[in-house]
Amino acid sequence: QVQLVESGGGLVQAGGSLRVSCLASGRAFSSYSMGWFRQAPGEEREFVAAINWYSGVTYYAASVEGRFTISRDNTKNTVYLQMNSLKPADTAVYYCAAKTAWASRLSSGYHNWGQGTQVTVSS
């Protein structure tokens, strides 16, 4: 089991950048694939990005491809989501999640979730 705590959310103007972080506690962080999801008010939770535990291969939603970058530092038990060229449509609560084995775009595959961090992009 791993516990996850997100940080780094906030208010930013459209076109700006923000980096959110997710600190994991517990053992064997490097053996978990990690994902970022987001949920806007009145909307379903949606996939944003994921990174495989072993290969480091990354996956992105089409809506953020080329603007967002997911990365991980296993020495710090942390996964990051660097968000550039932010748009008002990116406003949401951002959640990190962990799963064993390979990364997935499906939220149902993840068994550990953080509490979320709010990202608000003003126009």
> Do the beta carbons of residue 97 and residue 107 sit within 8 Å?
yes
The CA distance from 54 to 85, in Å, is: 29
pLDDT in tens, 6-33: 999 999 999 999 999 999 998 788 889 9
pLDDT in tens, 44-103: 999 999 999 888 899 999 999 999 999 999 999 999 999 999 999 999 999 999 998 888
> Do the beta carbons of residue 98 and residue 33 sit within 8 Å?
yes
The CA distance from 55 to 87, in Å, is: 30
